[in-house]
Amino acid sequence: GDSVTQMEGPVTLSEEAFLTINCTYTATGYPSLFWYVQYPGEGLQLLLKATKADDKGSNKGFEATYRKETTSFHLEKGSVQVSDSAVYFCALTSMFSGGYNKLIFGAGTRLAVHP
Amino acid sequence: DTEVTQTPKHLVMGMTNKKSLKCEQHMGHRAMYWYKQKAKKPPELMFVYSYEKLSINESVPSRFSPECPNSSLLNLHLHALQPEDSALYLCASSQDAGTPLHFGNGTRLTVT
């Protein structure tokens, strides 16, 4: 079945460091890909998305490019801030029969940014 | 601020209690979802409602009973839960079946 694999955390960085969180996927067909972020005590927020190969999603300085040839969707940010500390989930949509979508999540990567 | 509102934020209940979780959205979304998230784990899908009809039940035990009274509201009725049901319960909505999900902040449930 469809699946998402993320790099294990926690990832610990100093403020203004470069961030990469790796994400690879296995899927039949052409899924849409997402990054969601979960801040402490909150639900998940959609960070960015890409719906087809070579699309680049971007938001709040974060970017990720849909790479079909490597089945990857790595998250990057050039300069992280303490406020970026959170858990980041890579996800894809997997279609049920009948057209309903199901989000398949990776295990999540905890990011801790220190001043 | 999230556009999907969940109440209560926290709930403690005994194994013989009956309680309900509530979720509301006013974005005109036609699909609504319940997810369960255990600590340090990703969310797991429980139920999907599409156009107020239950479309998907991911083999959830009958002690969890969903209800969709109208297109803006989604409830999860709880009865005879077990301590292992303690988790963060997340509601989400999407414009239709193929579009991104918008999550609420969740209800943190503790079963004693």
- Residues A32-55 pLDDT 10s: 999 999 999 889 999 999 998 999
Residues of B in contact with A36 (CB under 8 A): 103
Residue B83's nearest CA partner among B45, B38, B43, B46 is B38
Question: What pLDDT band is residue B100 in, cutting at 50, 70 and 90?
Answer: confident
More confident residue, B61 or A28: B61
B68 has a pLDDT exceeding 90: yes
Q: What share of chain B is helix, strand, coil (3-state, %, to 5)?
A: 5, 55, 40
Give the residue ranges of chain A where pLDDT is below 50. Answer: none
The pLDDT, as a whole number, for residue A115 is: 95
More reliable by pLDDT, A104 or B96 = A104
Where are the extended beta strands (E) located within chain A?
A: 3-6, 11-14, 19-21, 23-26, 33-38, 44-50, 56-59, 62-65, 75-77, 86-95, 101-105, 109-114
Q: A-side interface with B, Cβ within 8 Å?
A: 32, 34, 36, 41-46, 49, 89, 93, 95-96, 98-103, 105-108
Dihedrals phi, psi of B84, to nearest 5 degrees: -70, -10
pLDDT value of position B8: 97
Spatial distance between the Cα atoms of A111 and A6, rounded to a whole number of angstroms: 13
Strand B64-70's sheet: what is its strand order?
B4-7, B18-25, B73-79, B64-70
Does residue B73 have a pLDDT over 90? yes
Residues 10..39 of B with a Cβ closer than 8 Å to A: which? 31
Nearest to B106 by CA among B17, B4, B13: B4
B20-53, pLDDT tens digit by residue? 999 999 999 999 999 999 998 999 999 999 888 9
